């Protein structure tokens, strides 16, 4: 088979991660890049002077790794040019920006995938297997903490300007935890209460989001997404009728959220002779992150007709943006 030819629009942190994934992937070739600051790019591939020039190139697909304000427009333009599209999260500034894309896809054979790479981490994959096994029983509640340490120059980051990002730490990082809530429960959520504020940084967007959600069947979930944890932290606790699953830590390009662990146990494994609340726990640590590779593999397979996009669909993007808008509109801090 011929290699699939890809281009990347936006060559910041995520664009470079996608480039490395393509370079390492057998069957894929990176042909060209477009970034508004091309002069800062040291690349062996062609540099395009505009997004239109990139779309006019001989490509099978395009990776959209731009600021959020350009994402929806670039996705639609790429689809209309006949290209398959992979777009980073957040998918848009607002839910309504996705409506035209959603309508276009109804009659399109082109592949569209959005980047929610946390679904492809080994701890998440193993947790999903446990849930599908049925031994845990029904899901009762979930609690997620996603804490970023920020940085000394954090307030200068483009994500803190609403016109470029659409929102703050909820949109940047909390969106992953919201997606995992949907992924593990298989349900949609509505916001019961939220408090979003700039607690520490002198920035336009929120640096903390405290959120209470309820699913269609009544699963209560809470999220704290923060930009001033001071030590990177990822923790997702899932409690079921018969036991619990905790995902503690997650591998990243910086390694600062490591180690990545899954810890689970069952209620009936408690030793009553040693007091309540101390069941035998089973844990595993993962030392490899192949999430970027697996995302590309799913995108590649869908283009080649070897599979479909099951993670990061247009519906996933639309539903997550609907939930985020619900959270922002419910904010008690106005």
In a domain? residue 311: no
Domain shared by 250 and 280, yes or no: yes
Domain shared by 172 and 80, yes or no: no
Q: What pLDDT score was predicted for residue 38?
A: 76
User: What are the tens digits of pLDDT across the range 161-190?
Assistant: 999 999 999 999 999 999 999 999 999 999
Q: What pLDDT score was predicted for residue 9?
A: 97
Domain shared by 89 and 127, yes or no: no
Domain shared by 181 and 279, yes or no: yes
In a domain? residue 302: no
Confidence of residue 41 (pLDDT cuts 50, 70, 90): confident
Domain shared by 175 and 209, yes or no: yes
Q: What pLDDT score was predicted for residue 123?
A: 98
d(CA 69, CA 94): 9
Summarize the confidence of residues 313-327 as an average pLDDT: 98
In a domain? residue 295: no
Summarize the confidence of residues 72-88 as an average pLDDT: 98
In a domain? residue 282: yes
Summarize the confidence of residues 79-96 as an average pLDDT: 98
Q: What pLDDT score was predicted for residue 59?
A: 98
Confidence of residue 207 (pLDDT cuts 50, 70, 90): very high
User: What are the tens digits of pLDDT across the range 273-289?
Assistant: 666 777 889 999 999 99
Under a CB-based contact definition with an 8 Å cutoff, are residues 102 and 314 in contact?
Answer: yes
Domain shared by 213 and 68, yes or no: no
Return the structure tokens found at 47. Answer: 């540099």
Query: Which of 115, 118, 137 has the alpha carbon at shortest distance from 238?
Result: 137
Query: Which of 200, 211, 201 has the alpha carbon at shortest distance from 174?
Result: 211
In a domain? residue 56: yes
What 3-state DSSP class applies to 213?
Answer: strand
Cis (ω within 30 of 0) for the bond into 90? yes
Summarize the confidence of residues 93-104 as an average pLDDT: 98
Q: What pLDDT score was predicted for residue 275?
A: 62
Under a CB-based contact definition with an 8 Å cutoff, are residues 9 and 72 in contact?
Answer: no
Q: What pLDDT score was predicted for residue 271?
A: 66
Task: Tell me the CATH number at 14.
Answer: 3.40.50.720
Q: What pLDDT score was predicted for residue 333?
A: 85
Domain shared by 101 and 126, yes or no: no
Domain shared by 142 and 244, yes or no: yes
Domain shared by 183 and 105, yes or no: no
**Tally of domains within the chain:** 2
Q: What is the dihedral of CA 70, 71, 73, 75, to 10 degrees?
A: 150
Whole-number average pLDDT of the chain: 95
User: What are the tens digits of pLDDT across the range 2-20?
Assistant: 899 999 999 999 999 999 9
Q: What pLDDT score was predicted for residue 40?
A: 67
User: What are the tens digits of pLDDT across the range 260-318?
Assistant: 999 999 988 766 666 677 788 999 999 999 999 999 999 999 999 999 999 999 999 99
Element holding 238 (H helix, E strand): strand 233-240
Model confidence at 50: pLDDT above 80: yes
Q: Which residues of 186-214 are buried (b: 16+ CB within 10 A; e: fewer)?
A: eeebebeebebebeebebebbbbbbbbbb
Task: Tell me the CATH number at 236.
Answer: 3.30.360.10
Confidence of residue 327 (pLDDT cuts 50, 70, 90): very high
Which of 78, 110, 142 is a domain's end point? 110
In a domain? residue 264: yes
Which of 77, 110, 143 is a domain's end point? 110
User: What are the tens digits of pLDDT across the range 118-170?
Assistant: 999 999 999 999 999 999 999 999 999 999 998 888 988 999 999 999 999 99
Q: Is the dihedral of CA 178, 83, 76, 169 positive or negative?
A: positive
Model confidence at 117: pLDDT above 80: yes
d(CA 48, CA 168): 30
In a domain? residue 226: yes
Domain shared by 133 and 191, yes or no: yes
| Whole-angstrom Cα Rg for the chain | 20
Which of 46, 81, 110 is a domain's end point? 110
Domain shared by 229 and 146, yes or no: yes
Domain shared by 226 and 281, yes or no: yes
| Residues spanned by the domain of 61 | 4-110
Strands 61-64 and 84-88, how do they pair?
A: parallel
Return the structure tokens found at 197. Answer: 């504020």
Summarize the confidence of residues 109-122 as an average pLDDT: 98
Summarize the confidence of residues 235-255 as an average pLDDT: 96
């Amino acid at each position: 088979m011929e290699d699939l030819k890809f281009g990347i629009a936006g060559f910041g942190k995520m664009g470079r991660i996608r480039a490395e994934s393509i370079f390492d992937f057998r069957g894929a070739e990176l042909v060209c890049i477009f970034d508004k600051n091309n002069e800062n790019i040291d690349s062996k591939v062609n540099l395009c002077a505009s997004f239109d020039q990139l779309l006019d190139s001989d490509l099978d697909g395009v990776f959209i790794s731009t600021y959020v304000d350009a994402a929806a427009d670039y996705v639609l333009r790429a689809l209309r040019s006949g290209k398959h599209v992979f777009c980073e999260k957040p998918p848009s500034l607002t839910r309504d920006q996705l409506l035209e894309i959603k309508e276009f896809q109804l009659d399109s054979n082109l592949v569209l995938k959005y980047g929610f790479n946390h679904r492809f981490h080994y701890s998440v994959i193993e947790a999903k297997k446990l849930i599908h096994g049925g031994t845990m029983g029904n899901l009762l509640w979930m609690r997620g903490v996603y804490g970023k340490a920020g940085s000394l120059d954090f307030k200068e980051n483009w994500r803190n300007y609403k016109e470029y990002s659409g929102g703050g730490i909820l949109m940047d990082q909390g969106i992953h935890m919201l997606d995992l809530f949907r992924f593990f429960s298989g349900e949609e959520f509505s916001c019961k209460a939220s408090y979003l504020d700039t607690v520490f940084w002198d920035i336009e967007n929120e640096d903390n989001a405290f959120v209470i959600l309820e699913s269609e069947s009544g699963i209560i979930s809470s999220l704290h997404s923060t930009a001033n944890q001071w030590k990177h932290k990822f923790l997702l606790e899932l409690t079921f009728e018969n036991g619990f699953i905790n995902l503690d830590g997650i591998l990243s390009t910086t390694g600062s959220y490591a180690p990545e662990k899954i810890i689970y146990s069952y209620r009936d494994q408690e030793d009553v002779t040693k007091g309540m609340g101390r069941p035998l726990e089973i844990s595993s640590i993962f030392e490899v992150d192949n999430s970027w590779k697996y995302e590309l593999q799913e995108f590649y397979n869908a283009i080649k007709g070897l599979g479909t996009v099951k993670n990061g669909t247009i519906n996933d993007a639309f539903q997550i943006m609907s939930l985020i808008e619900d959270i922002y509109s419910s904010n008690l801090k106005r």
